[in-house]
Every structure is written in C-alpha cells, then in structure tokens.
Structure 1
Amino acid sequence: MSRTTRRITGVAVAGFCAAALAAPALAAPTAGPDTGKAPGKTQFPIQILSFNDFHGNLEPPQGSSGKIQTGPKSSDTTVVGGVEYLATHLKEARVGHPNTVTVAAGDMVGASPLLSAAFHDEPTVEALNTLGLDITAVGNHEFDEGYKELQRLQHGGCIDDGPDGLNNQNSCAAGTFTGAKFQYLAANVLEKATGKTILPPYAIKTFNGAKVGFIGMTLKDTPSIVTASGVAGLEFTDEVKTANALVPVLKAQGVNAIVVLIHQGGNVPAATPYDFTCAGGGTLSADSPIIPVAEGLDPAIDMIISGHTHQPYVCSLPDPKGQPRLITSASSFGRLFNETDVTYDRRTSDIVRPTTDDSRNRLVTQTVAKDPAETALIATYSNLVKAIADKVLGQIVGSSVSKGQNAAGESPLGDLIADAQLADPSVVTAGKTPVVAFMNPGGIRSDLVADANGNVTYQSAFTVQPFNNYLVSMDITGQGIYDLLNQQFSGANSAGSPKVLQVSAGFTYSYTQLGKGTTNVSDDTATVDDGSVKINGVPVDKAATYRIVTNNFLSDGGDGFPAFKAGTAKYFGGLDIDGFAAYLTANSPYTPLVPSRITRVTVP
C-alpha cells in the first residue's frame, strides 16, 4: 500500500475553555430573503436531522446488524443501512427545507469494520464530510486511540505507519487526510494539565440572524468503559453541571435556542420497532441512564439528542420545572436517522419547544439510489484494504480448522473463536475480566482455511466471521448461565433444532439428551445436568455473579437466547473479527483442539 503525499505526524491543537471562550459559529445559509418565511414574519421552520453511533459502518452492516425491526414481532425486520443510502436519504430529506442542520450524538468512529478501521477511521470522517454532517458530540469510542488522535481526526494530518501500514492500519493511504469539515464538541472533556476542553464545548448555527446553539458532550463515565491509555490526562465532568453552566454563556451571545447532543441514552422494552415513541404509549425504561441527566438539564435547553445505548426512540422527559422536553435516539450503524421540525420565534429569539409529534425516526432503506460520491469513496478504500486483507495472521497446523460439530454440538473452530473472545482485552472494563465466552454456532460461516504453506490471512479469518459483530461483556448470575444453557434446547431451539453455544477453555458442563421413549417426553429434548457446570473445575454457584462475554447478537437475545438480555453492566468492546485475528497471531502456529468441553449423555 502506498501514498502519494504525507502530512506531519502530530497535530497540535489549542484547548478551549469549557465555559468562557467562544466556540465556532457555523456558516449561515446564503444571504438573501429570510430562509424561513418572508421578512417581517415572526416565525419560521428549522429542520434538525440527526443520527448516532455510526461506528464506521460505510458499507451496509451484515447479518442481524444490517436489519431493523419494523413491526410488532422481532421477526418483522427490514434490511437497512450503508452510507451510500444514508447520504441519499439525508439529501432527499433536506429538499424543501432551506433551514436545515445535520447533527450527531457521538461514536461516529471506533469499533468500526475493517474498511474504516484499517485506515484509522479516516474513511468514515471523509464519508461524514460528504453526507453533510455539521456537528457531533464526542462519544466514548472517539477516545479508543486517545484524545490526540481525536484531535487529528478533527484537524487532519497523517500518522506515520510506514509505507505499508502497521498493525493492520495505514493512515493517509489514499494520499492526504484533511480532517473533519464538521465540528466535534467535547464540553465535558477537560485536559487535566490546562483545565481546558480538548475541543469546543458548543457551536452556534445561524439562519440569517437567528441563532441556535448546540452543546455536545459524552457520558461522564467514559473512563470506566475506555482503556486507560485512551483517557490518560483527561477529566470527564458531570453532564448536567457542564451543560447548565454553558446556558448563560450562550445567552450572553444572544442564543436562546439550545439543543444538547449527548452520548448517553435510554433503554426501551425488548422487541421495539424503529418508530417507538412515547406519544404512541411507550415509555423509556426506568433504569435508563439518560433520565437523571435529562431531568437535571436547565429548562432553557429545548431538546436532547442522545445515543450510546443503540436504541430507537422519540420520547419526552420532564425538565426541572416538570415540563415535557423532547429526547430522541436513532438506533445505530446508520440504519436510521431522525427528523425533527422546530419553529423559531423571532419575538423570543428562541425555538418553540418541539414535541414528540414534531419528530420521527426514518428508515435508511436500500431502495433509493446510491450517493455516487460515497460509492467512489468506498471503492477507493476497498481497493486499498486488499493489502491488509491479504496479510498473513499466522499459521495453523493442518489445512483448516473445522466448524463441524461433534455429537455434543462442539466444534474445533467454535473452541478457537470462544477462546479468542475470552482473550480480547477490549471487553475488560472497570477491572472486570470475563471468565467465560459464548459464541453462537450460526455465526461461524465457514471453516478456517489455510493456504498451501499453512498461512491464514486476514481475509480468511474475516470469511469465518463476516458480520462485524461487537463483543459485549456483561454480568450474569450462575442461574442465568444455567438458563441460557438450557435455552439451547428449549423455546425457539426445541423440537429437534437445538443451537449449542461454543464455549471457551475452562468452562465445562454436561447435558442429558432424552429420547422419545422417555416417560413424559413427547419429543427429543435435553437438560443441562445440575451441578455439572464448572469454571476451571469449580462448580458454578447459581446465586453468584459472573462476568461473561459474547457478541451483540446474542447479547440482544438473538437465536432464541433471552437469558442474555438479563445481563447487566453491559460493555461494548471491539469487533469480533479483530479479536479473532489478534488471537491467531498471538497463538501461531495454532493446533486445532479436540472438542472436550461439552459432554452429551444420551438416555434412550
């Protein structure tokens, strides 16, 4: 992989005082007649388009991540996503709306698919430039590589990865990288050494003299869900105190219309369609972390655009005066975007507070034309990524590692993948390391095949796990572990269609398969043997709590495993493919194991 030019490696960026210095005012629409109604009219409309948790998904997400629920049943889904389609949908949504702004609520990059991650997420920044993003808050994943890297993404410049890349990454592979045309906001992220914000705390969008202010911030608990090196030297301040302190700063500049972009969110009931709204009778779950934040934000703040929890909702929460205030979230991975119509009143120099009737989440369907600029960008990086896809990760003994399952349902490749997930450091958070990993067999798409020399390439590994699922660690009780193991053979997985989860080293158990001739059994069924579930030889205590890791598909109850949904303290790590690749390299040459973790006892 080569580049034609290089810019300096480091980019020095001056900090911004969190509550004093003025932040950038974004360019106003072209001068001329009022971009709303004619001069003299007291009110005119403004359109706010928003999305969140894009995570570098330039191409349409695959598997379950590429679908969104569109009906009352979890099986009612539509294929959505892809930046080529998102750009077109946003462009079409702006038609007839001369007063429009496009904003986001964080995690635009980080835990990204190979097409973006291989280039330090520079392709994603360029794609967001192309689709017309104006402003975004920082999310926790913007700190995966440290705040200096975040500043580089904002302002441009190259990382010196050498002429052929380093560690499966290559900065400025397409030439130069000029940075984001949109503005990152980090109101509650301070550099400890200076006490200043690492990026502006707010931005002001002006529509022919009418000002709307946007405050952007991430969750204060970011340090507990990001590696220590990613947040070294930083302080994350309280969201409510930070935003409320900026209200008078904005008002002093004639800004009364204020929107908060925050990378923190709410939870909704299971099996929730994309168009979930409080107006339709729904409510955010009582344990939603955004609720105390929203209820503490100054009443002068007119609207909250949220993220982080990857949920779709259009709801309202009471402000400190008890008045309803709109809060939105547009799921994740570019599958949805939100459109909110607000009215600006020149008499008050403020927007009329929008309600749930003024806001809606919209599907990013693949039935529209692809945006040609985004298509060209994807083609460029798809060609460049080949050099990384062809890299040798390591060697295996023999020609392949088989996904074929033995009589108990365990496979050599399943063992390898589960071990890789358990070893992935990206899922360790707050000092808690998982003790067992669970992998769904349906997510293993092919054998791991080596070339004639026994070499395994990145592309070979990607063929095994092509869905770009995220690894998720969580707390679960011992009883919960028994429940999920029994769900391999019950519910949706009963009647002859069991799904035996692949498990990591040190985790063992047995189950008894009952035949049709067994008393009171109408069909083949199985039950996990009580007391047989062990971790490193120690029986699992049903009353104790254990840290486990799985992928986001199972975490959401996929494949008929609702027990995973009961997990708590969930933390999204990196992509499963990245952990798999790293494990292959660290354990090369790898000798396939003979499956022995799961024991099946058959009763005729």
Structure 2
Amino acid sequence: MPATSPAHQQHLRRRRRTNRLLATAAGVLTAGALAAAALPGSASADENGGGKGKPHGHHPGRYQDVQLLSFNDLHGNLEPPTGSSGRVNEIQPDGTTKDVDAGGVEYLATHLREARKGNRYSITAAGGDMVGASPLLSGLFHDEPTVEALNGLGLDVSSVGNHEFDEGAQELARLQNGGCHPTDGCYTDKEFKGADFPYLAANVLDEKTKKPLLEPYWVWKKQGVRVGFIGVTLEGTPNIVSAEGVKGLSFKDEVETINKYAKELQRQGVKSIVALIHEGGFPASSSYNYDCDSPGAGDGISGPIADIAENVSPQVDALVTGHTHAAYVCTIPDPAGKPRTVTSAASFGRLYTDTTLTYDRATGDIARTAVKSANHVVTRDVPKAPDMTALIGKWSTLAAPIGNRPIGHISGDIGRDGTESPLGDLIADAQLAHGRTLDPETDLALMNPGGIRASLTYAASGAEGDGVVTFAEAFTVQPFANTVNLQDFTGAQLIQALKEQVSGPNQAAPKILQVSDGLTYTLDLTRTGADRVVTDSIRLNGEPVDPAATYRVATNSFLAGGGDGFPTLGEGTNDLVGADDLAALEQYLTANSSATDPIDPPKADRITIVR
C-alpha cells in the first residue's frame, strides 16, 4: 500500500520490517508469507497521487488530463549503455534514418522531471525487468543501486518481469521490502530500504496458497481521479528463467488474469484501468518514431502482445508492455472493436513514453478518443541529474576495485547483433575451451543468444584504454552466473536441438544458438518450421554429424536445463559442471589476447543463411 506522505511511508517501513522479523523468526521468508503480507488488491496511492504536486483549491472541470510516463526493461543500466545498446534509430523528416545516442539514468531523471512540469496529474509506471541481467555497477550489489535509482526517478508502480525472478521469490521480496542481502550482508552503513513503489504480480501465484505472490493491482488517486493498474508478466516465464528462480510459483494466463482483476476494480468503482504487461511484440520498423497507425504502415506490431491486446477486456483503457525491447506506440482494437493504445519504450532507459489519458469525472472512465501517446528519446544533451550522478558515484567507488581489472584485449568492436554474432562465436569458443580443460574430449559448445546482454566495445571508457576489456565489461556481457556444463548427446539429439531453434516455442520468434568453431550448417529462411535447419548440412570439423554417434557438448546451465525452448538440451547425460560462464570468458580472453596481440572480432561465418 504505497503512499506519498512521509508519515505513511515511515509507517509502511516499520510494518515491512516487522513482517521481515516475523518471517525470519519463522525460519524463512517463503513465497506464501510474501503473499500473505502483500494483502493483494488493497494498495492505493493517497489523494496527493504519488507525490507529483499538491492539490489546489479550485473546482475541477469534467475532463482532466492525466499524464502517464512509462518505460520498461531497464535491466539495471544506470550508466549510459554502450554500442548498439546505447542507441535508438530515428526516422528523419526526409524519410532517412539515423542512430541517436540514448540512455543513462542521469539523463532519464532529467527528462522525466522536465516532462512532469505543468502536469499536476502525473503517474510514472514501468513494464517490468527493471532489474536482472544488469551491468556490474548494479548486478554486483544484487540490483540495490537500481532500486535506489528508481525511487529517485519517482517511479509509482511497476509490473514484475521475468528477470525479477532471476534470484527467486525471496530476493524479489527483499527488493520490495528492503533489508540486507542474506549472504552478502549490507554494502553500506545504511540498511537497504527497498522499493518505494509496489511491484505488481497478478498472474504469479504461490503454488501452496494459490494466492498472488505480490499485489495484483494498485490504485492511484488524486482529487477524485482514480486510475487502477494491473501488473502481469508473461505466462512463459518458467521457460526463460532458471528452475530455481521460479520454484514454488505458477504463472497464469495474462488475458484471463487481467480480465479477472479489471472486473474486481470495476466493482470497487475504479473504471479507468491500465495494464502493465511484461510481454511484447515486434513492430514493422525498428525506428522508435515509426507511425504504425498511419495508412499503408503495414501490420503495426505482431507477436504475443497483439493477441493479448485483442482479448483483454474493454474495461482496460491502455496497455504498457515490454519484454521484446522494441519501441512502438500503436492502437489495437479491443474485443468491442474500440481502438486502444499499446506502448513499449525499447529498453535500457533509452526511451520513455508520454501518454495523455483524458479522465471523465462524470463517468470515472478514460475518454479513449482523447488518448495521445508518443515515445521520446532519453538524449544525452541535457544536464545530468545531480542526485543520480551522486548515486552512480557512490556505487562506482565500491565496484571499481573489481570492475576496472583488465582481463583481455580486442582489436575492434565485437558485437552481439545478427542471427550469428561475432560475440556469440567468441563466447561459444570460450566455453568450448573451458570444457576441454574439464574433459579433453569435448566436441562443441552452444550458447543461447538471450544470455549475451551487451557488445564488447573497442573505444576507451572509464579506467580502461582502447581495446582493453575490463571485468566490468565482461560482467555486462554475461551477468547471469550460469555454470558451464558438459553433457553427452547423440547426433540425433544434437540435430533435434538445432531444429528447436526454429520450431516449437521458438517457431514464431527463432532463438538461434551461437556455435563454437568447427560446427557449421545452413539455415534456410525460405522454408518453414524445423525444416529451416538443413539437416544434411550439419557438420562438425567438416564431417557430417552422425545421428548414432555420441558428442560431448558444452552449454551454460540454463540451456542444460532445457531453457529457452530447447527441451532436448535438458536430456543430456554424463553431466559435469564447470566454472561459471563469466570465468570461462575471462580465462579465454586472458589466455588468447594481449596488448600487442589482441583478439580480432570473429567472422560469424559458421552458419550459412539463405534468405
């Protein structure tokens, strides 16, 4: 039940500490205890509405514009992201496009604060994945720095995303409620206070209690205006998070859950409703300012969110989405055929969305015909927010002794973009090399593209020189602390795993595994389904893969558990667990590069693409 008055916030902090102490005395804070403490559905802001201005004494008119600022998939990117992760594509007036540098919470804070000026009715919401897969500055401290930054940004409410479960329900409870890390302790002389905003998880249930893990919805109130927010993450979260992270939890259908709580909000008299959905789509253009509603613009957005938007109850007035890291502001008809706004602000704090919701005081609902929305670039040509600069400085000082350590040298940028990426090849080679230190008979390595979170850039930044790779950079690339696992597979299983890249759960949005040196095959995109992997083209060191032979394969522990829609990779035998994947990358860079002989970017020519 977040509120904005200091006294109320102090009361909440006391209550949260009491809950934590009681849970500790009981032995462990379980997901069920978290749900019981959350009191689902009861939370609302006070009449001052999230601290955005004070009530005035005039008599309000019938229609009131409410500003909704939103963003998604920050992933702990407090400092400006580098390489392609720190740019957005922008359509120019003449129809050409250009890349614009974007992102960094020092700039995001300034842009949000400027956007709020003159808007007494302003709410800031997020679509999940605020933490997880974070750069070292945040990830090293279990994302406490990011939660502090979000508090400073004035975030009012957020849905959970799949990455909020990277470290499990107990750690998510700590991020919400505060307290020192159970093993690392406190990083500073002040106890971590937790999030000032509620995380919403309407479709995440404790398997024992069958109740939502966190509050399913939250209501913002100001001078008679009430807007409800329902938060869900994608139903398929267990397929893309480690089994330990979602242990004891079940994830329900997004549409059914949103519709259920929309009815509940309606019964409470809350008729203006926004859904925060950590699931997204794929726009017809990669430019953030592409008008997907213009005549002849194509199909707007495709993917899971299109189906969700078409089926979510008309009682919901707008959808704030995420997960796909795409940028779009589109309208999709609701089940009654009425246009409804669907937005996503890319990722890493590079964009924010400014939506105007016109609230009708006579009906308590949003006048949908008056909804306006646009994405805006978090440019770096504005003053940095001093409080964010101080926050980054504080945590950077703590991280510097670890993060600034050089571990290798590169001769140019090694990117992660493309069906097969140079960085994907490098990581697969590193895991193969590490696997052979455990078992010299290791044949190949496979790496999931989603586990590669950033590129390696040549240009100097911070304490490094040109071409120097620091531990902090490598951590940003591979922040998940997966282990390198060795397993035996038959050739038939290996072929099947490669086909799972483009079939089953991955048919609509293929996940192309990055492969180590020696493994080659053809991917024919003119075909459909599993046939896109050309079976007779699959070779290892020039020889066809024998379906009856046994191959020793290195993967990370996430893939070894069948993650990312690769069930066959969860069926390996003769398991052997090695070091974590970041250590494998560090060992490879250190052993194979120097200032005078840096690593060149791999050619990314192991997979032949037919289009």
Provide the TM-score with structure 1 as the length reference: 0.69
Where does residue 519 of structure 2 map in the other structure? 507
Confirm whether residue 418 of structure 1 aligns to residue 428 of structure 2. Answer: yes
State the match for 1:233 in structure 2.
248
- Contact preservation (8 Å) 1:295, 1:317: yes
Structure 2: distance between partners of 1:414 and 1:250: 46
Letter in 2 for 1:22: G
Equivalent runs, 1:88-237 vs 2, <5 Å: 88-162=110-184, 172-173=187-188, 175-237=190-252
Tell me which residue corresponds to 1:527: none
SS at match of 2:282: coil
Mapped to 1, the partners of 2:225 and 2:203 lie a distance apart of 26
What is aligned with 2:320? 305
Q: CA deviation at 1:324?
A: 1.1
Tell me which of 85, 88, 102 is aligned to 1:68: 88
Structure 1 stretch displaced more, 248-257 or 45-54: 248-257
**Residues 32 and 538 from structure 1, CA distance in 2 versus in 1: closer, same or farther, beyond 3 angstroms?**
closer
Q: Which stretch of structure 1 is more off in the superposition, 329-338 or 32-41? A: 32-41
Q: Corresponding residue for 1:57?
A: 77
AA at the equivalent of 1:367: D
Structure 2: distance between partners of 1:387 and 1:587: 21
1: distance between equivalents of 2:63 and 2:604?
71
Residue 46 of structure 1 aligns with which residue? 66
Does residue 25 of the first structure (1) align with residue 50 of the second (2)?
Answer: no
Q: Secondary structure at the match of 1:243?
A: helix
Give the aligned partner of residue 362 of structure 2.
347
The alignment's C-alpha RMSD in Å is 4.8
CA distance in structure 1 between the partners assigned to 2:426 and 2:102 by the alignment: 31
Query: Which sections of structure 2, spanning at least 5 residues, go unmatched?
Result: 1-16, 414-421, 436-443, 461-467, 481-495, 503-513, 523-534, 547-552, 557-563, 568-578, 606-611
How far does the alpha carbon of each residue in 1:575-596 deviate from its partner, in whole angstroms, 9 at most, with x for none? xxx976321578899578999x
Q: State the alpha-carbon separation in 2 of the partners of residues 362 and 599 from structure 1.
A: 34
* Offset, 1:346: 1.2
Unmatched tracts of structure 1, length 5 or more: 1-5, 163-169, 394-399, 406-411, 426-432, 448-458, 481-501, 511-529, 542-546, 551-567, 572-577
Instruction: Measure, in 2, the Cα distance between the counterparts of 1:404 and 1:84.
Output: 28
Give the 3-state SS of the residue equivalent to 1:70 in structure 2.
strand
Shift of 1:92: 0.3
2:386 aligns with 372
Q: Which of residues 399, 402, 412 in structure 2 aligns to 1:388?
A: 402
Q: CA deviation at 1:301?
A: 0.7
Contact 2:425 2:604 (8 Å CA) reproduced: no
Q: 1:417 to 1:461 in 2, by over 3 A?
A: farther
Change (3 A) 1:289 1:401: same
Give 1:582's aligned residue. 583
For the structure 1 residues 463 and 86, does the alpha-carbon distance in structure 2 shift closer, same or farther, using more than 3 Å as the test?
closer
Partner of 1:553: none
Question: Could you give the per-residue CA deviations for residues 457-491 of structure 1, whole angstroms, max 9, x where no partner exists?
Answer: xx9543775974899xx9977999xxxxxxxxxxx
Q: Report how far residue 291 of structure 1 moved.
A: 1.3
Task: Check 1:436–1:195 CA distance in 2 against 1; reply closer, same or farther (3 A cut).
Answer: closer
Write the letter of the residue equivalent to 1:119.
Answer: F
CA offset at residue 317 of structure 1? 0.9
1:79 aligns with 2:101: yes
Q: 1:548 to 1:94 in 2, by over 3 A?
A: farther
Bigger mean CA deviation after superposition, 138-147 or 282-291:
282-291
Structure with the bigger percentage of helix: 2
What residue is the counterpart of 1:290 in the other structure?
Answer: 305
Tell me, yes or no, if structure 1 residue 363 matches structure 2 residue 371.
no
**Structure 1 residue 277 displacement after superposition:** 2.7
The alignment partner of 2:85 has SS state of: helix
Alpha-carbon distance change, 51 to 212 in structure 1, aligned in 2, over 3 angstroms: same
Paired amino acid for 1:185: L
SS state of the match for residue 435, structure 1? strand
Give the Cα–Cα distance (whole angstroms) in 1 for the partners of residues 288 and 603 of structure 2.
Answer: 38
CA distance in 1, matches of 2:197, 2:376: 22
Distance (whole Å) between structure 1 residues aligned to residue 584 and residue 238 of structure 2: 26
1:238-277 superposed matches below 5 A: 238-270=253-285, 272-277=286-291
Equivalent residue letter for 1:220:
E
Cα distance change, pair 465–40 in 1 and its aligned pair in 2 (3 A): closer
Q: Determine if contact 2:176/2:198 at 8 Å carries over to the other structure.
A: yes
SS of residue in 2 equivalent to 1:255: coil
Mapped contact 2:91–2:290 kept (Cα < 8 A): no
Output the CA distance in 2 between the equivalents of 1:124 and 1:478. Answer: 35
In the alignment of these two chains, the number of paired residues is 485
